[in-house]
Amino acid sequence: MADSIRKADYFAIQVPNRPGAGARILAGLKAEGVNLIAFTGFPNGKTAQVDLVPERTAALRRAAKKMKLRLGQRKTCFVVRGDDRVGALSNMLQRLAAAKINVTALDAVIGGKGRYGAVFWVKPQKVARAKRLLGAR
């Protein structure tokens, strides 16, 4: 199966950098029926930034309001899925580099059964160009 690349919304939130902060967010989103395509977090001083990539943006917004989560503004990332193989992301990254599009961040993981997934970010002014270059939907 060929890789699929899609543009997706994501929202950053700041949470206390303490044990259980991520677990509480995920439990609340689960209770509200929000399906996430990706969830990533990293320390940011005394807080942590958590990026939420929802399957349905409206569902996340409703749940966040109910949970009193302060979502950052809607931004864009790309989600990649495909068959796992050596160098799975290499060609895509080379195409972006050749077009002078810098990847701000990238998280990738194998998903089992020969599959992998990744989420990556580019600067807002490069999103449309990256989408066209990669044939993202």
Taking only the tens place, the pLDDT of each residue in 83-134 is: 999 999 999 999 999 999 999 999 999 998 999 999 999 999 999 999 999 9
pLDDT digits (tens, 9 = 90+) for 26-37: 999 999 999 999
User: What single-letter DSSP state applies at residue 35?
Assistant: P
Please tell me the distance from the alpha carbon of residue 64 to that of residue 79, in angstroms, as a whole number: 22
Asked if the model's pLDDT at residue 1 lies above 80, the reply is no
Please indicate, yes or no, if residue 41 is contained in any of the structural domains. yes
Last residue of a domain, one of 60, 75, 90: 75
How many domains, in total, are found in the chain?
2
Q: Give pLDDT, residue 129.
A: 98
What is the identity of the amino acid at 51? D
Judge whether 115 lies within some domain.
yes
Q: Are residues 64 and 95 in the same domain?
A: no
Question: Domain limits at 14?
Answer: 9-75
87 and 115, same domain (yes or no) = yes
What predicted TM-score, i.e. pTM, was given to this entire model? 0.92
Residue 66 and residue 98: Cα distance in Å, rounded?
Answer: 44
Q: Any residues with CB less than 8 A from the CB of 31 and at least 6 apart, and which?
A: none
Could you tell me if 5 and 135 are in contact, meaning their C-beta atoms sit under 8 angstroms apart? yes
- Do both 93 and 62 map to the same domain? no
